[in-house]
Structure 1
Amino acid sequence: MFNFIANNDIDQFPPIEEAWDGIVALGGQLTTARLLSAYRQGIFPWSSANQPLMWWSPDPRMLMRPEEVKISKSMRKILARAEFKITLDTAFEEVIRNCASIPRPGQEPLEGEESGAWLTEEMQEAYINLHKAGHAHSVEAWQDGQLVGGLYGVAVGWNFSGESMFAKVSNASKAAYLTLVPLLGQLGFQWIDCQMYTEHLSSLGARLYPRQMYLDFLKENEQEVGIQGSWTHLL
């Protein structure tokens, strides 16, 4: 049976051990306080326009250590030639709007639903507010002055949770991701949370780990502040 969250419960979630097939709870509001509480507990929202808001914590968990990233020879050449200009936190709203127009890897649209409908308008606004609060960040890939790819995610302490990416030009989002990951390692981030398994993420170095290992890390580091505010100056 699913657990439901009342709108006035700011940061309370049922025990993750009670998750049903990775779903911790249903309902609640996408406030900045609740989102931060969720990420600190290893929980993230994922739903669609035709479903109630769902809070997830899958087991096993798809994670990557920054030092284990795999960069192919072809991508090393692309990065060395600087085919894309990569920036941080310069166009967060544009990135998330573009991500909303494509389907999330591994999630098929429901019948009668448009691709990318999981990233509802409400969810977009919630992450934009989280970005304004200094906790959600974007990586942009530019070509000839045009935004052609990127990704966004949430930083809590020394953990970065990737949420979604998009590409209008081949290798654009991959260039953004493969620029971000080594940078996160240099800054002291220990984990990149990729949430759920995809072959693409596996090819880049992410692996499945027991959920409890990840939750233990979050618990041990719950007081860590990390790097808040704009990341524009970091690259």
Structure 2
Amino acid sequence: MRQRPFVLSSDPHAPFPPAASAMRDPDGLLAIGGDLSLPRLLNAYRHGIFPWFSLGQPPLWWSPDPRMVFHTDGVRLSSRFRRALRHSTWQVRTDTCFDQVITACAHAPRPGQHGTWITSGMRQAYLDLHRQGHAHSVEVFDGDALVGGIYGVAIGRMFFGESMFSSRSGGSKIALAALASRLHAWGWPLIDAQVENDHLHSLGGRLMPRAAFLEQVAELVDQPAAEDGWTERFGLLPASALSQPPVP
């Protein structure tokens, strides 16, 4: 493992070092520098690498071992929560207000975290990815009010989750479960959740060795995905439809 992170060149098309060479301490730190240009971001995700840094820092690029993931048929909602969903009038759609979702994620309070890693530069980079059809948001609405959401990057048949938020209890859970339900129906097996925490574990997140994760990513990013837009393909999903557990 590297003792120091690799310093990226200014060329946005320059390759990253192998993800397996990331540092052990801090876990997964692979490279430093570069920019958040579209080609560099897409190259990073294709190789199981993501940016994560705070305001005032240069871009930091990570590939931790192990990796937190969700299998799209394995998101877990409690029985009590599913019973409550039976009577929910909330609805889920996608890519109708990406800017609002990423802004809400940037301002969502995180335990033990001050400020946000979704800086203005990070936000602009993902808005550019969204405009080019690479980044997507799943949005939960109560009437006209946005009450939860998640956003991330899709390449091939692999979805790389970035952040989620709730402005009302359960909003992010519904967004994640809806995303997983649709992806599973489309034949997408995996959602990257990056770094483990107790909340993700409670929703069914699992740790995967980095080598196994990278192997799956390499296969999935090269698989063809449907060319139609996510808004139309995802459609309008009633939250009440998530009240039943996934079929094994």
Shared fold, TM over 0.5: yes
Rounded to whole Å, the distance in 1 between the matches of 2:14 and 2:47 is 10
Find 2:9's aligned residue among 6, 10, 17: 6
Q: TM-score, normalised by structure 1?
A: 0.91
Rounded to whole Å, the distance in 1 between the matches of 2:179 and 2:86 is 15
Rounded to whole Å, the distance in 1 between the matches of 2:151 and 2:42 is 15
**Residue 100 of structure 1: SS of its match in structure 2?**
helix
Asked if 2 retains the 8 angstrom alpha-carbon contact of 1:68 and 1:205, the reply is yes
RMSD: 1.6
Q: Give 1:178's aligned residue.
A: 177
Q: Give 1:15's aligned residue.
A: 18
The Cα shift of 1:172 comes to 1.2
Q: Give 1:135's aligned residue.
A: 134
**Residue 141 of structure 2: SS of its match in structure 1?**
strand
Residues 119-158 of structure 1 aligned to structure 2 (within 5 Å)? 119-158=118-157
Q: Tell me, which stretches of 5 or more residues in structure 2 are unaligned? A: 236-248
* 1:8–1:93 Cα change, 3 Å: same
Q: Tell me, which stretches of 5 or more residues in structure 1 are unaligned? A: 110-114
Q: TM-score, normalised by structure 2?
A: 0.86
Find 1:29's aligned residue among 5, 30, 35: 35
Asked if 1 retains the 8 angstrom alpha-carbon contact of 2:38 and 2:129, the reply is yes
Rounded to whole Å, the distance in 2 between the matches of 1:7 and 1:83 is 49
Find 1:108's aligned residue among 99, 107, 113: 113
What percent identity do the matched residue pairs reach? 43
The Cα shift of 1:11 comes to 4.3
The Cα shift of 1:229 comes to 6.0
Asked if 2 retains the 8 angstrom alpha-carbon contact of 1:135 and 1:228, the reply is no
Q: Deviations over 1:147-182 (max 9, x none)?
A: 121110111112111110111111111111111111
The Cα shift of 1:97 comes to 0.8
Rounded to whole Å, the distance in 2 between the matches of 1:222 and 1:137 is 16
Q: Give 1:112's aligned residue.
A: none
Asked if 2 retains the 8 angstrom alpha-carbon contact of 1:85 and 1:141, the reply is yes
Q: Which moved further from structure 2: 14-23 or 221-230?
A: 221-230
Q: Residue 71 in 1 paired to residue 77 in 2?
A: yes
Q: Give 2:192's aligned residue.
A: 193
* 1:128–1:229 Cα change, 3 Å: farther
Paired residues, number:
228
